[in-house]
A and B are shown apart, each in its own frame.
Chain A
Amino acid sequence: MPMITIEKVSKWYNPQFQVLKNCTTTVEKGEVVVVCGPSGSGKSTLIKTVNALEPVQEGTITVDGLNVTTMKKDLPKLRSRVGMVFQHFELFPHLKIVENLCLGQTIVLGRSEDAAKTKAMKMLERVGLTAHAQKYPGQLSGGQQQRVAIARALVMDPICMLFDEPTSALDPEMINEVLDVMVELAKEGMTMMVVTHEMGFAKKVANRVIFMDAGEIVEDAQKEDFFGHPRSDRAQHFLSKILAH
């Protein structure tokens, strides 16, 4: 059974503007899928529909066999099992790093303060930021904040992870520290859907690459095929621009 299925999904922001056009794809368990495409192509919107942060008007999305599109009451529970990392980190600035990591655990999962803290410290160690546990997000660099954001998702024991341009807001010298954590995760077999322009990352760990343009999934191929011989003109054009240097 696939971890994520997206079937014939369409979304309109208003009757005139369609952001997603009949998108269909699946992500198998343990698979790493990279979503790329020019800006405004709907890739961020697509990934946010997976945990229903963006509602859709047509189509069906399931996560771990559960229909997300019709879900109401159990939605928070499902979201807590789907880790999400944002372009602008979105750590809670009024909470310390360790509190950022405990909030979901105590409120949503009902873990005790102590258990949550232990788990938080374990994940901070994993991303190499134990020393910063008592600081506020504003005191950390962008790269550090994004690693904390990944840890915040991991403490919830997610069944899959969504990354929405996790390195786009970072200074170049900080991109690798975040990518390293993601590569590590991928190697451990985490199911991941990653919106990114980092083609190096895609070549290294992705199983499949989805190319989107103007709200459509134009190409959905194995990594080797996508980089080796993209079928569509639009994907070829995109790749030639992004890999020019």
Chain B
Amino acid sequence: MFSNFDYDVIWRSLPYLFQQGMVFTLTLTAIATVFGLILGTLIAMMRLSSSAVLSGFAVSYVNLMRSLPLVLVIFLFYFLMPYVGQWIIRSDQPVQVGAYASTIVTFTLFEAAYFSEIMRAGIQSVPRGQVMAGYAIGLNYREVMRRVVLPQAFRNMLPVIFTQTIVLFQDTSLVYVLSITDFLGAASKVAQRDGRLTEMYLFAALVYFLICFTASFFVKRLQKRISIIR
């Protein structure tokens, strides 16, 4: 069955696949990880706060996001965001939000829910005595969090954060529903155009596999190193 394969179609489309597709995939992964982690950490701190309002908000947010399929959220945000934008800046018409900007906001908000659960576990993994020691030398809540708790929480959770990022990297392919040219989108477009579906999808699968498998391998090694330090 492989005898009539056209390998040249892969070769010809490499610049398009990587310079456009993969660049977008990696950009989206990086932005959603960084901002999702920051936002997720804030949500985790809200969730662990003694204020019922803050923790209630955090719990509702996380539960809502985790109960919806990502594809649905991508769609929903794409259609709703123009109206939300209109309401925020009090404009007469819906604000034009491109598919690109929309997906970045969507993924950040969606991943924040997952990262917040990871960071919550991380914060709780830091012994209470550490918090006490921070207060005892005169730090306030913010300083204790920033200098004592979060660095340790982050370090303890690093392997889990990376694993979540690998999952996120794969999930970015769902932007195909908005016809965005991510790596899979690019491969798919070439496949349709040249009628070379098998070659292109097999190649895309191979690339995803190699990247994720290698990344997972390094995460496992990191995990071992961290468990030795602790």
Using CB atoms and an 8 Å cutoff, list the residues of chain A in contact with chain B.
Answer: 48, 51, 53, 76-82, 84, 86, 88, 90-94, 103-104, 107-109, 138, 152-153, 156
- Beta-carbon contact of B137 and A94 below 8 Å: no
B143 within 8 A of A: yes
Q: Which residues of B contact A76 (CB under 8 A)?
A: 135, 138-140
CB of B145, distance to nearest CB on chain A (Å) = 13
Q: Is B133 an interface residue (CB 8 A)?
A: yes
- Does B130 belong to the interface (CB within 8 Å)? yes
Of B133, B135, B136, B152, which is in contact with the most chain A CB atoms at under 10 Å from its CB? B136
Q: Which residue of chain B has its CB nearest to the CB of A84?
A: B136
Name the residue on B nearest A76 (C-beta): B138
Closest partner residue, chain A, to B134 (CB atom): A92
Closest 5 CB pairs of A and B: A80-B138, A104-B137, A90-B133, A108-B138, A84-B136
**Closest residue of B by beta carbon distance from A77:** B138
Which residues 96-152 in B have Cβ within 8 Å of A in the complex? Answer: 127, 129-130, 132-140, 143, 147-148, 151-152
A contact residues around B138 at 8 Å (CB)? 76-81, 104, 107-109, 156
Q: Which residues of the partner chain A approach B143 to less than 8 Å between Cβ atoms?
A: 107
Cβ of B90 within 8 Å of any chain A Cβ, yes or no, is no
Chain B 180-214, CB-CB to A under 8 Å as 1, else 0, gives: 00000000000000000000000000000000000
**Cα–Cα distance between A79 and B140 once the two chains are bound (Å):** 10
Contact A53/B152 with A76-B139, A103-B147, A152-B137 known, Cβ cut-off 8 Å: no
B155 surroundings in chain A (CB, below 8 A): 94
Also in contact, A53 and B137, with CB within 8 A (given A88-B129, A92-B148, A94-B152): no
B151 and A94: CB pair below 8 A? yes
Minimum CB–CB distance from A69 to chain B (whole Å) comes to 16
Residues on B with beta carbons closer than 8 Å to the beta carbon of A51: 136
Q: Can you show 23 pairs from A to B with CB atoms below 8 A apart?
A: A76-B140, A78-B138, A79-B135, A79-B136, A80-B137, A80-B138, A84-B136, A86-B133, A90-B130, A92-B147, A92-B148, A92-B152, A93-B152, A103-B137, A103-B139, A103-B147, A107-B143, A107-B147, A108-B138, A108-B139, A109-B138, A152-B137, A156-B138
Q: How large is the interface on B (under 10, 10 to 19, 20 to 34, 35 or more residues)?
A: 20 to 34
Measured in the bound complex, the distance between the Cα atoms of B129 and A156 in whole Å is 19
Inter-chain CA distance A199–B137, complex, in Å, is 28
B residues in contact with A94, CB < 8 Å: 151-152, 155
Q: How many A-B residue pairs have CB under 8 A?
A: 64
Instruction: Give every chain B residue within 8 A of A153 (Cβ-Cβ).
Output: 137
Cβ of B229 within 8 Å of any chain A Cβ, yes or no, is yes
**A86 partner residues in chain B, CB cutoff 8 A:** 129, 132-133, 136
A residues in contact with B139, CB < 8 Å: 76, 103-104, 107-108
State how many angstroms separate the Cβ of B128 from the closest Cβ of chain A.
10
- CB distance B137 to A108 under 8 Å? yes
Q: A84-B137, A94-B152, A107-B139 are in contact. List 7 more A-B contacts (CB 8 A).
A: A51-B136, A76-B140, A78-B138, A86-B132, A86-B136, A90-B129, A104-B138
**When A79-B137, A104-B137, A152-B137 are in contact, do A53 and B229 touch as well, CB less than 8 Å?**
no
Cross-chain contact of A156 among B132, B137, B230 (Cβ < 8 A): B137
Please name the residue on chain B nearest to A108 by beta carbon: B138
Q: Which residues of A contact B127 (CB under 8 A)?
A: 88, 90
Most A CB contacts (10 A, CB to CB) among B129, B133, B143, B229 go to B133
Q: How long is the Cα–Cα vector from A178 to B229 in the complex, in angstroms?
A: 25
Instruction: Identify which of B130, B151, B229 contacts A138 (C-beta below 8 A).
Output: B229
CA distance in complex: A88, B136 (Å): 14
A89 to B136: give the CA distance in the assembly, Å. Answer: 12
Contacts of B132 in A (CB 8 A): 48, 53, 86, 90
Q: What is the CA–CA distance of A91 and B148 in the complex, to the nearest angstrom?
A: 10
B residues near A53, Cβ cutoff 8 Å: 132, 135-136
User: Chain B's nearest CB lies how many Å from the CB of A9?
Assistant: 19
Q: Smallest distance from the beta carbon of B123 to chain A beta carbons, Å?
A: 14
Contacts of A103 in B (CB 8 A): 137, 139, 147
**Across the interface, do B229 and A92 meet the contact criterion of CB distance under 8 Å?**
no
